[in-house]
Structure 1
Amino acid sequence: MNRVTDKDIQTVIGNLLRIGVVLSMATVLIGAVIYLFGNAGKTVEYHTFDDAKVHLKSIKSIFTNLPALEGITIIQLGLLMLIFTPIARIVMAAVSFFIEKDYLYVLICIIVLLIIAMSLSGGFAH
């Protein structure tokens, strides 16, 4: 019988983190190239911030605007990938603790995930 060892799980988690960071970095780089070529020669106004011009305010808006292949949208997708990489690591840790029948640590992982979900959704501010 093939038994999953702790070393196997750590290898999978390590690879998940490495792949997540490399993919998010590549996505941001591709978005940056598209953004720079698409906005070459434009003058940027840094003195005032106009909130009305910011159209990527939520995860849903990023995925809604993704088919247009705008550079700024692709950059934000890469940043989302970077944010969700350690979250995926916590999920993998919870699964590994569940396989090992270490339910206290499964509960701790779930609590951590709930705290992260609360903070990403704006907490109690809504």
Structure 2
Amino acid sequence: MEKSKIMSQEKFKEKVFQMIIGNLLRYGVWISLSIAFMGGITYLINHGNEPEDYSVFIEKDNNIFNVVGNVCEGLIHGSGESIIFSGILLLFLTPMLRLLISLFVFFLEKDYLYVFITSIVAIIIGLSVSFGFSH
């Protein structure tokens, strides 16, 4: 009897964890898309009549930390481009947050193999984002 009670508690915890992760991903995507959409509207209101030259692409900055700093500064000024980019950053951070929550849950469950694997994935993603922009 005691073993079946423990199993049902574990299944309940697993379902709660799956529900939290599902909601995180679902609402994270919707919120980030909404922010990017509002940024698009703001950009069109401020720059809708300006002609665009799509034949030339100029990369303004190649350091992710400078890019995030510029986006934060642009958000303070209400820049449509910065609002769009913050939506894109939030879209990227949504699965990263899922990864970090999974790491925390695996640690609480004392599942150290998955803690190790998830940590390696998080480190690889962090390093690729940090150094991926530099030439």
TM-score (norm 1): 0.87
1:29 aligned residue: 37
- How far has the Cα of 1:52 moved from its partner? 5.2
Alignment-mate amino acid for residue 71 of structure 2: I
1:97 aligned residue: 106
Alignment-mate amino acid for residue 30 of structure 1: M
> Which has the higher mean CA deviation after the structures are superposed, 36-45 or 22-31?
36-45
Question: 2 CA distance for matches of 1:91 and 1:52?
Answer: 31
1:68 is the counterpart of 2:90: no
Identity of aligned residues (%): 37
2:50 aligned residue: 42
2:18 aligned residue: 10
Alignment-mate amino acid for residue 101 of structure 2: M
- How far has the Cα of 1:125 moved from its partner? 5.4
1:110 aligned residue: 119
Greater share of residues in helix: 2
Alignment-mate amino acid for residue 44 of structure 2: L
Alignment-mate amino acid for residue 78 of structure 2: L
Question: 2 CA distance for matches of 1:124 and 1:21?
Answer: 24
2:94 aligned residue: 85
Alignment-mate amino acid for residue 24 of structure 1: S
Provide the aligned C-alpha RMSD in A: 2.4
Unaligned runs of 5+ in 2: 1-8
- How far has the Cα of 1:88 moved from its partner? 0.5
**Greater Rg over alpha carbons, structure:** 2
Unaligned runs of 5+ in 1: none
- How far has the Cα of 1:124 moved from its partner? 9.9
- How far has the Cα of 1:49 moved from its partner? 3.0
> Which has the higher mean CA deviation after the structures are superposed, 83-92 or 2-11?
2-11
Q: How many positions carry a matched residue from both structures?
A: 123
Q: 1:24/1:48 Cα in 2 relative to 1: closer, same or farther (>3 Å)? A: same
- How far has the Cα of 1:46 moved from its partner? 2.0
